[in-house]
Amino acid sequence: MISAFTQSNIDINTLYIYPPESVENYANKLLLLWKALYSLNPNISTIKSLIEELKYFFKLKDLGVIKDYLGIEIDYNRDQGYMKLYQASYIEKVLARFDLSDYKPKNTPMDSKVKLEPNPNKATKEDISWFQQVIGCLQFLTLATRPNISYAIIELARFSSNPSDTHILAAKNVLRYLKGSIKLGLVYINSSSKYVSGYCDSDYTGDISTAKSTSGYSFYIGSCLFSWKSKLQSIIAQSTIEAEYIAINSAVKEAVYIR
């Protein structure tokens, strides 16, 4: 809907509006809206009829089945019970923005041989700005459709205030990996299985500079991933089992929320 402010903030608890001219005039009476206008009826013909009526009062376009939302591309087939979320166009724009469109793809987000350590020197303002912009773009991907780069991004984000050449090359490695897996995304399939399962894990003292470990978890409905996280633990674990317990604690909190 053109010029629609569907999430506007108001500083009052009760809002009064005049009804449209087509509504019968109820003198000295108030009309109470019981439901919002979104999907009042699941019947397709009813929804189409509502859209046609709304066109008399608002400038709007019926774009049909959703194909894109906030940079997330959506392949949806209701009959097959299939939906895929990915961000190929967004990745292409990011690659072009940072002049990496012509670089050769990489097979993995990070090089296991590269150790990320604090920069002993002071980075230039240009390098800091470039690095922070890249991390910001990549963080959006990790939150939306690319959980498989979450670990790489939280590792790199720790050095946003003073990146070294090694950190910059590692960030470019992530971008080059995305180029080679540009249409990879989340797939949701309608199935009879509604079983919710969760998995968690942890490394041990993986962060060289702090000796802290990193936790990670993922939750699925059937085979469909819907919740994930990778995060540096807030305390230094004294053993591998303690690091695992910290990871389990984080996952259980999410499980309780999901339940």
pLDDT tens string 75-92: 999 889 999 999 999 999
Kindly state whether residues 169 and 227 are assigned to the same domain. Answer: no
Distance of CA 12 to the CA centre of its chain: 32
Kindly state whether residues 98 and 146 are assigned to the same domain. Answer: yes
- Cα separation, 99 vs 97, in Å, equals 6
Domain of 235 in residue numbering reads as: 191-258
Task: Say what angle helices 88-97 and 165-180 make with each other, to 10 degrees.
Answer: 140
What pLDDT was estimated at residue 12?
Answer: 66
Q: Is 83 helix (H, G, I), strand (E, B) or coil?
A: strand
Whether residue 229 is contained in a domain is answered as yes
Whether residue 27 is contained in a domain is answered as no
Residue 230 scores a pLDDT above 60 = yes
The pTM assigned to this predicted structure is 0.75
The DSSP symbol for 149 reads G
Kindly state whether residues 165 and 211 are assigned to the same domain. Answer: no
End-to-end distance of the chain based on CA atoms, in angstroms?
Answer: 35
Tokens 């009476």 map to which residue?
29
Kindly state whether residues 152 and 116 are assigned to the same domain. Answer: yes
Kindly state whether residues 97 and 173 are assigned to the same domain. Answer: yes
Long-range contacts of 250-255 (CB under 8 A, 24+ apart): 250/200, 250/215, 250/217, 251/198, 251/199, 251/200, 251/215, 251/217, 254/198, 254/217, 254/219, 254/227, 254/229, 255/198, 255/219
Q: What is the pLDDT of residues 206-223, one digit of tens each?
A: 988 899 999 999 999 999
What pLDDT was estimated at residue 216?
Answer: 95
Whether residue 58 is contained in a domain is answered as no
Last residue within a domain, chosen from 121, 148, 180: 180
Whether residue 78 is contained in a domain is answered as no
Average pLDDT rounded to a whole number, residues 126-154: 96
Kindly state whether residues 113 and 157 are assigned to the same domain. Answer: yes
Kindly state whether residues 205 and 249 are assigned to the same domain. Answer: yes
Whether residue 207 is contained in a domain is answered as yes
Kindly state whether residues 159 and 205 are assigned to the same domain. Answer: no
Kindly state whether residues 176 and 209 are assigned to the same domain. Answer: no
- Cα separation, 128 vs 99, in Å, equals 17
Residue 6 scores a pLDDT above 70 = no
Whether residue 237 is contained in a domain is answered as yes
Last residue within a domain, chosen from 143, 160, 180: 180
CA atoms 40, 42, 44, 45: torsion sign: negative
The rounded radius of gyration (Å) of the Cα atoms in the chain is 24
Whether residue 38 is contained in a domain is answered as no
Residue 40 scores a pLDDT above 50 = no
Kindly state whether residues 117 and 200 are assigned to the same domain. Answer: no
User: How many C-beta atoms surround the C-beta of residue 84 within 10 A?
Assistant: 17
* Phi and psi based region of residue 97 (left: phi greater than 0; alpha: psi -120 to 50; beta: remaining): alpha
Last residue within a domain, chosen from 124, 150, 180: 180
Average pLDDT rounded to a whole number, residues 116-135: 96
Whether residue 26 is contained in a domain is answered as no
Task: Give the count of domains, the chain.
Answer: 2
Q: What share of the chain has pLDDT > 70, as a percent? A: 86
Kindly state whether residues 196 and 172 are assigned to the same domain. Answer: no
Kindly state whether residues 207 and 175 are assigned to the same domain. Answer: no
